[in-house]
Amino acid sequence: MNIGKVDVAWSYISLAMVQGVNIMLLPIILKFLNSAELGLWYTFTSLYGLAMLIDFGFQTVIARNISYLWSGAKTIQSEGYDSSEVKNNGIHIGYFVKVLSTVKFIYYAMGLMIFIIFISFGTLYLVKITNGEIDLYTALTAWLFYMVSIILNIAFSFWNALLKGIGAIKLYNQILVVTKVAQLVLSVLFLLLGYGIVGVSLAYLLSVIINRVLQSICYYRYSNETKATKGQIKFQYNKEIFKALLPNTVKTGILSLSNYLIVNFPIIICSYFLSLKISGQFGLVNQIVTLILMLSNSYFNTYLSKFNYLRVKNQFDELIILFRKSMITNYIFNIVAFTLFVLLGGFFLEILGTDYKLLPLGPLILIIVYRFLYNNQILFTTFLTTKNKIPHYRQFMISALITVAVQVIVLVFLEKSLMYLILPLLIVQLVHNNWYWVLYVIKDIRNEKNDKEIINE
């Protein structure tokens, strides 16, 4: 597990280039798509987030357990990790292949389920929200391409977990760069040819195919251990492995659902209760805020596999130093980036020569504050999950459900406005989760440090 400065550098390069592609793509989309088409595009991306809920946290759990196995652990467990028979050199290849075969089986099943749901209910939803704002044939054609992209992404998502779990962070990010550049080039080409939102959806589909093909090729070439698994990973279900993965998969899945309800679902609510035009404006701000948070989280996420590795190897002091450094980096980046966004965001939109404007200062600040605080609690609790324990899933889900309920109630019975959509996202989380889990993790670190000192004495 050799994750170092080169991997960190590639994480930043990848994010800079990937999000740079998104930034370059954004003005092109704004130029060629009208406000209704932009709202439809953000609705597509929100439906993608909804579809990924079927993963139910499985990818995160798999990546963590693969890190344990790659660190020499003999088996995976439903809670905690096996440090009793850690192999100092190499991995237990037979068990490793069994885990990968089970993972492959489950992801293919997920892809089939999403196809059935989206070809029926997803299509009906798209027909309803177009509501004369966009040509129905164009909307459905774009949806067909995007829907196939979603299905392929889900069915082959296990490659993400594999590459991250074995610490192939640089390789994973290099592939991501190639993928996003391909998406940019194809999107520009199709837009210039006059295909509009259909062209943007087709470009995304082709980029997904490129991504999955490259990931599979690079995995098998990564090391002697991965070469040894070539031809061995079957479409095969193993009950015992699935049972070991299931408890934390369910808990992580609940966290994924709660995260979706807080971050992505508001755009779907906005499309339904307000309009595609407003959801496009809200989606634009949400995309920029998400970009900033992704960049700020890069240092933390690069070392996530290393966190798991240090747990198994019982190197607690190094683990805490690395975690503290990642959080300080995160805070500094966020403060600078969000300040620049508020001060200069509108100016850059004017330079691009688009008709779009940022939201008024009040809603804009509220979105930044609620997303920053929510992201902060996510990072602290993600560090907690490196112990393969997830005590926070119930509170996250309860607060997310309360938030959605409050949003719907105020939009139906009070006023259909963006402020009433945003305020519950901030207020409900402030009541408990924003502060409680940060203090919980800090206390847990102190207790664990004291326990280590007692053992060493």
Give the mean pLDDT per block of 10 residues along the chain (457 residues).
60 67 71 77 76 71 79 71 62 82 87 89 82 80 91 87 80 85 89 89 93 91 84 81 77 81 83 75 82 86 78 79 91 93 76 64 89 94 84 89 90 82 90 92 83 59
Q: Where exactly are the structural domains of the chain?
A: 5-456
Burial of 121 (0-12, 13-18, 19+ CB in 10 A): exposed
Q: From CA 151, how far away is CA 181, in angstroms rounded? A: 21
φ, ψ of residue 3 to 5 degrees: the values are -105, 120
pTM of the model: 0.64
Please answer whether residues 17 and 175 qualify as being in contact, where contact means their C-beta atoms are separated by less than 8 angstroms.
Answer: no
Q: Up-side HSE of residue 337: CA atoms within 13 Å toward CB?
A: 19
Residue given tokens 């196939």 in the structure block: 148
* Tokens 């609690």 sit on residue: 377
pLDDT tens digits along 411-451: 888 878 888 888 999 999 999 999 999 999 999 888 877 76
Q: What pLDDT score was predicted for residue 371?
A: 93
Report how far apart, in Å, the C-alpha atoms of 193 and of each of 24, 32, 118, 124, 209 are.
Answer: 18, 11, 28, 29, 22
Query: Tens of pLDDT along 33-91?
Result: 777 777 787 788 777 777 776 766 677 778 777 877 777 777 777 666 666 666 666 67
Residue 353 region by backbone torsions, left for phi larger than 0, else alpha for psi between -120 and 50, else beta: left
**How many Cβ atoms sit within 10 Å of the Cβ of residue 353?**
9
